[in-house]
Amino acid sequence: MHYSVKHILNANVRDLLHLEMEPALGCTDPAAVALCSAAAASLVKGHAIESIDVKTDLNVFKNAMSVTIPASGGSCGIPLAAAMGAVSGNPENGLEIFSTVDEEGLEKAWGLLREEKVTAGIAEDSDGVYIKAVITAGGRRAEAVIAGQHSHFESLTLDGVPQEGHGFSSAKIQQDGDVETLEKWLTTLSLGEVVDLLDDLDDDDVTFIQHGIDMNMRLVENGLSHGPGLGTGKTQMDLIRRGLLAKDIALMSGITAAAGVDARMAGVKLPAMSLGGSGNQGIAAGVPLVTVANLAGVGDDPVLLAKAVTLSYLVTCTIKAYTGWLCALCGSSVASGAGVAAGVTYLMSGTVEQIGGAIMNHVGNYSTLLCDGAKGGCALKVGEAVGSATKSALLALQGVSISSTDGIMGNGPEETMRNLGLLSTEGLANMDPTVLSIMLKRCP
């Protein structure tokens, strides 16, 4: 079901959220690989696949190589994702590409791998999200390129001839505006101006935001009930029942996020509402606020919850505008964590100054948490960060806020978020190659 975003906040924010939020089944990086491969395969439909070659940017490669793929029987790997997309994926499904993969399709994909028809590597000199899938079949060569966003097709060619008019072309993704332009606009706003935008929510806005929350809460419920993946959410609930952990608002907000990430990283066939190209970011930025609202006694106010979640999304998007969609930092822990800190403070009637203090507390505490690829352990990392973000908000509400003279802190939350971007893009520029080198030694 698709909900209109026509009335979400003012025009720029409506367009930005429309571009930043998208349902995704499983981790977005292998899904994007499969989507790109499916698009190329659609150009040579009816012919037996002779070869598939996939090249990605370093960050997509890092995130896609080890995370469980939905409908794969618990398997992982970029070649498998590409093959699954090529033989069973419908590119019209976007990042929910794995929804059409059945046992027969999975076996066909494994057949391509056994016959060594699928290769994967890193595209040299690529910047940002980049995936190129080249498929040969029936003597023809089809190529699809995704760039900028995980479902944004930059080009589609058959035997070198550009293919126009496809329903999954870039026009569908960019019809409401340019995400880069809108992100730059967002970074020009003060925190107070962002908070003021929340007063423009109407009933349609609340419905749209709630739709994303509900989608992600289904993953949380699965994680708490079944303990998929690392099982950090369910295990912590068991520890609470045994009296080995003390139930409080910070711990519970972290458990909520961890359970959702547990399910998603395990490849559970439930979509997430992604944010900024990451389902984990969408989970981390939104569902903890549901827990906090309920425990704080304001869970029966859907408008207040929608405003708090929207603020969390916008803070997350601001930070990602500075760091880039894919970077050396763990966006779900650092960016979404800062969003949660802001959202919790807003839920509890905090002032703009206190909201800014909460953001600074979280950035000061988690500014150097690195991304070492998507995998089951993300649940533990994200849960701990989100729990700490809630504590950062509680401290800010009591007047405790990191000083602007500390570390990378700036003169207020706006400058602090900009500094975080500099840390990511300049200070940690060589981190990703090192991380990937370590990962490849373990799993070439």
CATH number at residue 151: 3.30.1330
The two three-digit tokens of residue 39, written as one number: 């698009």
In a shared domain, residues 161 and 199: no
pLDDT of 141 strictly over 90: yes
In a shared domain, residues 120 and 246: no
Residue keyed to tokens 């207020």: 412
Domain termination residue (choose one: 142, 173, 204): 173
pLDDT of residue 171: 41
In this structure, is residue 416 part of a structural domain?
yes
In this structure, is residue 330 part of a structural domain?
yes
In this structure, is residue 279 part of a structural domain?
yes
pLDDT of residue 401: 95
How far, in Å, are 88, 320, 331, 389 from residue 412 at the CA level?
A: 50, 18, 21, 17
Mean pLDDT across 198-210: 89
**Band of residue 168 on the pLDDT scale cut at 50, 70, 90:** low
In a shared domain, residues 246 and 196: yes
342-380 confidence digits (pLDDT tens): 999 999 999 999 999 999 999 999 998 888 888 999 999
In a shared domain, residues 148 and 224: no
Nearest to 287 by CA among 383, 377, 207, 388: 383
Domain termination residue (choose one: 125, 140, 173): 173
Domain termination residue (choose one: 140, 173, 206): 173
Return phi, psi of residue 145, to 5°.
-130, 125
pLDDT of residue 167: 58
In a shared domain, residues 80 and 221: no
pLDDT of 413 strictly over 60: yes
Buried b (16+ CB within 10 A) or exposed e, 368-382: bbbbbbbbbbbbbbb
Residue keyed to tokens 């800010």: 396
Amino acid letter at 357? G
In this structure, is residue 423 part of a structural domain?
yes
Give the residue numbers spanning the domain of 262: 189-442
- The domain total for the chain is 2
In this structure, is residue 258 part of a structural domain?
yes
Mean pLDDT across 95-110: 95
**Band of residue 436 on the pLDDT scale cut at 50, 70, 90:** confident
Nearest to 84 by CA among 118, 45, 58, 50: 118
In a shared domain, residues 198 and 162: no
In angstroms, the CA 148 to CA 153 distance is 9
In this structure, is residue 9 part of a structural domain?
no
In a shared domain, residues 193 and 166: no
In angstroms, the CA 106 to CA 94 distance is 19
In the chain, DSSP finds a helix count (H) and a strand count (E) of 18, 8
**Band of residue 438 on the pLDDT scale cut at 50, 70, 90:** confident
In this structure, is residue 6 part of a structural domain?
no
Torsion of the alpha carbons at 47, 49, 55 and 60, rounded to the nearest 10: 90
In a shared domain, residues 258 and 404: yes
Strand partners, 133: 54, 144
